[in-house]
Amino acid sequence: MAMRYDCGIDPDAVTAIDMHVHLEVDECGHRALPDEFFDASAVYFRTTDRTPSIDRIAELYRGAAMAAVVFTVDATTALGHRPNSIDDLVTGCQRHRDVLIPFGSVDPRQGRAAVVEARRQAEELGVRGFKFHPSVQAFDPSEETFRPLWAELEDIGLPAVFHTGQNGMGAGLPGGGGIKLKHSNPLLLDEVAADHPGLTIIMAHPSVPWQEEANSIATHKANVFIDLSGWSPRYFPESLVRLASTVLAEKLLFGTDFPLITPEKWLRNFAELPIKDEVRPLILKENAVALLGLGAAGAAAGSRS
């Protein structure tokens, strides 16, 4: 039986919080996605180690004095491939509760079962949020059929990360491996955010080719944020960099997409961006501390939920 997560992160003990880290293999060696997607994404991101263990991830982030949000993606219906074990993921994060934070994932296309599973992961496992990838999971988050799931997450009171923009998954394969980019248009999340104002939504990645839409949504909706993972900062769209020091200063979150991009590479390129010095700590840590409730009161509340 999985060990329930009890957050032990001291925000003062870390220099940054990486909001976007993938665990791609469980303790039984089962991978999150079919081999063809692993191989294609490894070429796309030019990475060698796609499947570090939870212990290796913890070692890396502890050594860098950082914390990290870790998750997988349940795309069982779309891919015909069950995810790596979320229960194992949570147990691993509990072993490293000083640096790792587990997010859950459910398959939205499983209807009522997804709603029930989301509640289980929150209440029994203690996950601190949820991860969705509309393109890989093959669903349009704005459709009526998924509203019960968003209402459940809103009631649970945990944030949800949604992949937006370009996809590394399936890149370079014939037909992109069947993955449809349209499901990752951030405009589809505007309707979700409007109808569920109590649901905190994190739009993952610079949303190329829809960055202007993402900027607008994050500016307009108090419950919407952007994590900066999946792209080296040197390639961030100009509009995103420009607004980072103004209207988006409290809406942006450090994220790498590790193991696809290392924190060292991301931070090295981030240091070269023309962003105000006083905004950098917000992006690297303070915005995440507030969103995740990692202050003394927030951590205590999370341990009781």
Quick check: 301 pLDDT over 90?
Answer: no
Contact indicator for 36, 173 with CB cutoff of 8 Å: yes
Distance, in Å, from the CA atom of 203 to the CA atom of 163, rounded to the nearest integer, reads 6
Residue whose token pair is 């796309």? 44
- In three-state secondary structure terms, 131 is strand
Quick check: 48 pLDDT over 90?
Answer: no
Distance, in Å, from the CA atom of 238 to the CA atom of 215, rounded to the nearest integer, reads 11
Which residues contact residue 71 at a Cβ distance below 8 angstroms, ignoring those fewer than 6 apart? 21, 22, 23, 89, 102, 103, 104, 105, 129, 130, 131, 161
Instruction: Read off the pTM.
Output: 0.91
pLDDT in tens, 18-31: 999 999 876 656 66
Residue whose token pair is 């507030």? 290
Nearest to 133 by CA among 165, 93, 162, 113: 162
Contact indicator for 19, 253 with CB cutoff of 8 Å: yes
pLDDT in tens, 183-235: 999 999 999 999 999 999 999 999 999 999 999 999 999 999 999 999 999 99
pLDDT in tens, 279-290: 999 999 999 999
Quick check: 36 pLDDT over 60?
Answer: yes
Q: Please name every residue paired with 123 in a beta bridge, in sequence order, or none if there are none.
A: none
Query: Can you read off the two tokens belonging to residue 6?
Result: 């009890």
Domains within the chain, CATH numbers bracketed: 11-304 (3.20.20.140)
In degrees, rounded to 5, the angle at the alpha carbon of residue 101 between the alpha carbons of residues 201 and 249 is 45
Residue 242 belongs to what H/E stretch? helix 238-244
